[in-house]
Amino acid sequence: MSTKKPHKSALKNQEGVSIDEITNPAAIAKFKAKRNKDISAKKLAHAIIKGDITALSRAITLIESANPDHTAKANEVLNLCLPHANNSIRIGITGVPGVGKSTFIEVLGNTIATSKNKLAVLAVDPSSSVTKGSILGDKTRMENLVKNKNVYIRPSAAGNSLGGVARKTRESIILCEACGFKTILIETVGVGQSETAVHSMVDFFLLLKLAGAGDELQGIKRGIIELADAIVINKADGDNLQKAKIAKTEFKRALHLYPPKNNGWIPKVLLTSAIENKGVDEAWSLIETYLKISKSDDYFNIKRIEQNKFWLYQTIEDSLKSNFYHHKKVKEELQLQLKAIELNETTPFAAAQYLLTLL
């Protein structure tokens, strides 16, 4: 039995929680890890399937963790959730920073989210791995949508490669679906091929654009337009309205350069003013029409199966690459080969071939 006198002061620490645990980031991480360890994968999965948002957030944190124990547990949760997933529509939204993505999603989200159609908003933000800062996450975003009880917003997954971030987002989609979310919006910025990654995980891909930003041709060159199921020219208001109308004609013309989608769909161009809540309802109707058409001829399922096949290859490639670069011998020899290239003592091809034999 303890001989210590009990504290009389109200300023005493709670038993078992030191100041260090409250203020020290490493201690906080340890505390969170411990909390995640406490609940079994089975319990976590059951809670998610019942619609428990806290369990969902915990499981997504496990997915995002670099700790191998967490990854193993996350995989277990994912396997248990998988039979309950797939029952949703997934919509990708992309556009340069400042085009109005969060404003648009806020309006769209409040239109579509109901108790029968719960909405999850996930973000793919590769900028955080490229620039160590987040383009999507740094500002306060979607302040109104956050308050909507039928909406779950999860900021961008952390990761040091687009492949990693994209995988985590795909796995988060599965958990959100198992948790009962019927619509999943996945937002991304047009950085480092993130559009391609998002395009390959959604049923409908929407490209937000600005009129007269001089990037129309760039978009065409970079092939983003080819990916879009709809182009929405935002900020079609005030002095910008006329320019937006002209841009609409230009985009329509540009879209004719591409063949229709595999299901015969010809991408549409719309004007919106997210800030004035104009045109967003029409954008939603268009998405609904598209989904109705693609579900009626089974294109919806065929596309998802194709996407899963793509992700199988993608995962193999990511994993081969990661194993290669983390291999101890490769790490050492890579530096020597880089030096040899600097000194013109070898060719990149010979060096690569040699390094590949080390695995």
Q: How far is the CB of 136 from ligand GDP (least distance, A)?
A: 7
Half-sphere exposure of 33 (CA within 13 A, CB side): 14
Do 190 and 224 meet the contact criterion of CB atoms below 8 Å apart? yes
Q: How far is the CB of 41 from ligand GDP (least distance, A)?
A: 35
Distance CA 275, CA 107 (A): 8
Residue number, 51 or 97, with CB nearest to ligand GDP: 97
172: left (phi over 0), alpha (psi -120 to 50) or beta: alpha
Q: How far is the CB of 95 from ligand GDP (least distance, A)?
A: 6
Residue number, 70 or 101, with CB nearest to ligand GDP: 101
Residue number, 44 or 145, with CB nearest to ligand GDP: 145
Q: How far is the CB of 130 from ligand GDP (least distance, A)?
A: 17
Residues near ligand GDP, by CB under 6 A: 95, 97-103, 234-235, 237, 273-275
Long-range CB contact pairs, 136-142, < 8 A, 24+: 136/187, 136/188, 136/189, 141/102, 142/102, 142/105, 142/106, 142/109
Q: How far is the CB of 107 from ligand GDP (least distance, A)?
A: 9
Q: How far is the CB of 18 from ligand GDP (least distance, A)?
A: 40
3-state secondary structure 257-292: CCCCCCCCCCCEEEECECCCCECHHHHHHHHHHHHH
Residue number, 200 or 273, with CB nearest to ligand GDP: 273
Residue number, 123 or 157, with CB nearest to ligand GDP: 123
- Minimal CA–CA distance to 92: which of 244, 204, 170? 204
Residue number, 88 or 273, with CB nearest to ligand GDP: 273
Long-range CB contact pairs, 323-329, < 8 A, 24+: 323/359, 324/355, 324/356, 324/359, 327/358, 327/359, 329/358
